[in-house]
Structure 1
Amino acid sequence: MPSTKSLLEQMHAMGNKITLFGESAGAQSKLLHYGTSGMRSFFQAAIIQSSPMSFPFRTYLEYITRTVLLAEQLKCGVSDIACFRKVSYQDIITAQLVVVEHFPPDQVNDQRPLLARLFTQWTFTCSSRLFARKAPIAYTHVFTYPPITNGASNSSVFQGHVCHGDELYFLFEALRANLTAAGRRLSSNFANYWTNYAKSQDLNQPIQVPLIWPRFHNDVMKYLCFQDPIETMDNYFKDDCDFCDKIGY
């Protein structure tokens, strides 16, 4: 980053207007930059898109230890044997069942929709909400438009659903020729919001956008919902996220 900033300044660019952008693992990288005080002077804003914020940065030993999730529920360190020995078997059972109680299995054989909801809320939606609450200025969004690419992508199995990374088709206008008219309209608007933010740190200008993107506030948590048409929504999955905040990430 220091060399990038210096290069941009030499090219008469505005080094203090650098906007970082990343999606998924790239978003995790930008999250580290944002949270590292020594890096904050090298950029002014960041777009953190679909970051799995609930995935902690662990050592190799912690990753291969099957007791990590249980330890988090019991408020014990992974290697704190004394803490585990103090916990009753009732507490262990409760820790294992707390998630199942909030997300009870459906009375059908296929539990994939329930698992997808649980995983998505804990991994992306709710941990991002917690981050937005702590950020001095934040704008949040959800992408709910299932991609229809007329056979240009291998997504027939997920017809009618939005999967992690699907929004990239629209943001970078990669399959624009294969999108429907509604998809092309959404793609242009998506790219315009991001371009505005990179240029001015204001999502709503200078390029005209169809709807004002409101700032995120703790009292009324507003999201911009990318669908057709684009709209705003309040308190997205609030009950699920309140639960996830309670059990921790």
Structure 2
Amino acid sequence: MKTCKMEIWKEISLVTICALLFQVNPYEAKPIQLSSNDLVIATAYEGSIVGQVTPEAGIFFGIPFSQPPTGEFRWRRPRDPLKYESRYWNATYKRPGCQQVCEEPAPEYSCPAEISEDCLYLNVWVPKRLLMQVKADNILDIDHYAIRDDYRPGGESRPLAVMVWYHGGNFKDGSGSSILYDGRFMANQGDVIVVTTNYRLAHLGFLVQGENGSEEAKGNFGFWDQVKTLEWVNRNIRNFGGDPNKVTIFGQSAGSESIGVHLTSNVSKDLFHKSIMQSNPLGLPFRNLRDAKVFGDRFAESVGCKRNDMTCLRSKSVQELEKAYNKSLDDITNPALISTLFQPWSPVIDGDIVPDQPVKLFLTGQTQNKPLLLGSTVDEGVLFIDGAFSHPVGKLVYDLLLAIIFKQDYLTVVERYPGECKGHLFKCDYRDMASEMATEYIFLCPQRKSVNSLKNNDIWWYIFNQTWSFYEVWGQPACYHHVCHGSDLGYIFNVESLTKFNFTENERGLAKRMITYWTNFAKYGDPNGAQTMSKVKNTQWPSFNQTHQQGMYQALQLTANKDFVMQQPYKEACDFWDKLNRYADHVSMYHHRRKRQHEK
């Protein structure tokens, strides 16, 4: 491939001419390898986009939905993307994930291959049936694929439902381009458009600094990136065969927490229509603005800057910021906020995009009335407890933690979760009991109470109960025989063929059933969908409160062998936590003290 050798790099017009001659985008490092079998064109507001074709889908990797958040735009809200300078945008290869230290299991599949501050890109998967072969044109000089005319604006065919994925990773790592979230199989089987996206993470996504009233002083840049993704989808997805009036947002863990924010925020409410929350730890608190500012001050000082000195902070290299980030992970700004150790860079209650703790807004009915599908794995807490405590936890440490977190309710909680001493007194390990408590208190029970509080009948709850046959992928023995946090991900995207691991036949069936449930929900607002039209025969999934009887509810348990309906799962445990009424309540004793003083 010829290259353009130039000594005067500021002559942008010459770079552009050279790029057009050799089919190279002047702002891209990789030229497109021209082949009529694997190129597909779509259009967007910013210009033409060239992607690739696989047996399952047309794929567009790395489409910019914002300008790079670098230099003076580090710690600022995302901006509209620029129009493309060359014939097309090269969307045949993945762009970097956002700056991070990725510590996910199976990093070759769950972590980005590259990272950069310039990371605000999304990916689009279009079912293969929406593609047609066309002749060479003024975009590509060879025959290629394009989105079928009847699915583009003005076409006769009905556009497809759109599913926008927000990845998990504790708001500190992960990427929409990870192999684990490849959308080709979901798009093909479910006949939907799948979009995955990046958003800024950790200190670059959620730092609170700067003067009062400024963007920097409220943080939550990662959430604003998510909103900008939805704005791009609403403006452009029709050109890919998608329906901007039928957008479902879905995500797991931190991605699911993001969904909870969007459901309780006025900022993005008109940009999506249905939601799927997988493993939302609703019982974990977000930081309030005051504590986030203290946390941010310490971060700034750790990197060698004065508080609120954004010029200094923006001058620091990513390596210098990473050192400060590593120190911040164990920083407890307030003893009452011990739970922030599980999510150090949590989002911030800024009164803007995040008006309050999402669980509190759910419990008071301050959510958007949209169809909702949600659920959790049966052993969510194991991954968190094992990650926090690599050695056995004795009774003294166990009791101390519960006393710090639950204060006056400590004895009540210990009575329900007493733990047991296995073996010799000095070899006790209370991690199993702590994991059970975390699963119920942080995940399952606040979910149940939240949907119990909603007046929405279009709610479906699931319990995922399937361990992986390829358990060694975890890298953590504690998860080998537990249904840990994230166990559902390999099935929901059905990426077996993109990995070195093999599903059992029952696991393949589970993956197909889950994709059918999820995409039915996106298309019809009901996971049961039009089952007569589906090749996958799923169990009939009743809505959460289908019986409409006081106190009665149902959920679907998902397993590889067979899915089945559960009547009032976790009722005893959740009744206990509901009565205690402590979900995300210990976020700030300072806040509650001030409130009580005011009431006096």
- Give the alignment's TM-score, normalised by structure 2: 0.36
Distance 2:269 2:569 in 1: 30
Residue 159 of structure 1: CA displacement?
2.8
> Which residue does 1:188 correspond to in 2?
512
Distance 1:150 1:99 in 2: 32
> Which residue does 1:37 correspond to in 2?
266
Alignment map for 1:124-203 (pairs within 5 Å): 124-135=443-454, 136=456, 137-149=458-470, 154=475, 157-175=478-496, 178-203=502-527
Does the Cα contact within 8 Å between 2:471 and 2:479 map onto a contact in 1? no
Distance 2:494 2:511 in 1: 6
Residue 32 of structure 1: CA displacement?
0.5
Distance 1:143 1:201 in 2: 20
Moved more, 238-247 or 2-11: 2-11
Residue 64 of structure 1: CA displacement?
2.3
Match status 1:244 vs 2:567:
no
Does the Cα contact within 8 Å between 1:150 and 1:179 map onto a contact in 2? no
> Which residue does 2:164 correspond to in 1?
none
Cα distance 1:65–1:157, how it changes in 2: closer, same or farther (>3 A)? closer
- Give the alignment's TM-score, normalised by structure 1: 0.82
Moved more, 237-246 or 107-116: 107-116
Give RMSD over aligned pairs.
Answer: 2.4
Q: Deviations over 1:44-98 (max 9, x none)?
A: 100011011111221325962112479xxxxxxxxxxxxxxxxxxxxx9743322
- Give the number of the structure with larger relative contact order, counting CA–CA contacts within 8 Å between residues 6 or more apart: 1
The letter of the residue matching 1:114 is M
- Structure with the higher strand share, 1 or 2: 2
> Which residue does 1:213 correspond to in 2?
541
Distance 1:194 1:222 in 2: 18
1:232 to 565, 572, 579: 565
Does the Cα contact within 8 Å between 1:54 and 1:124 map onto a contact in 2? yes
Cα distance 1:18–1:4, how it changes in 2: closer, same or farther (>3 A)? same
Does the Cα contact within 8 Å between 1:152 and 1:178 map onto a contact in 2? no
> Which residue does 2:409 correspond to in 1?
95
Cα distance 1:181–1:93, how it changes in 2: closer, same or farther (>3 A)? closer
Distance 2:518 2:247 in 1: 13
Does the Cα contact within 8 Å between 1:21 and 1:48 map onto a contact in 2? yes
Return the index of the structure with the highest Cα Rg: 2
Unaligned runs of 5+ in 1: 71-91
Distance 2:469 2:248 in 1: 30
Moved more, 228-237 or 206-215: 206-215
> Which residue does 2:442 correspond to in 1?
123
State the identity %: 27
Residue 13 of structure 1: CA displacement?
3.4
Q: Deviations over 1:7-54 (max 9, x none)?
A: 234656322210001100000111110111342222110001101111
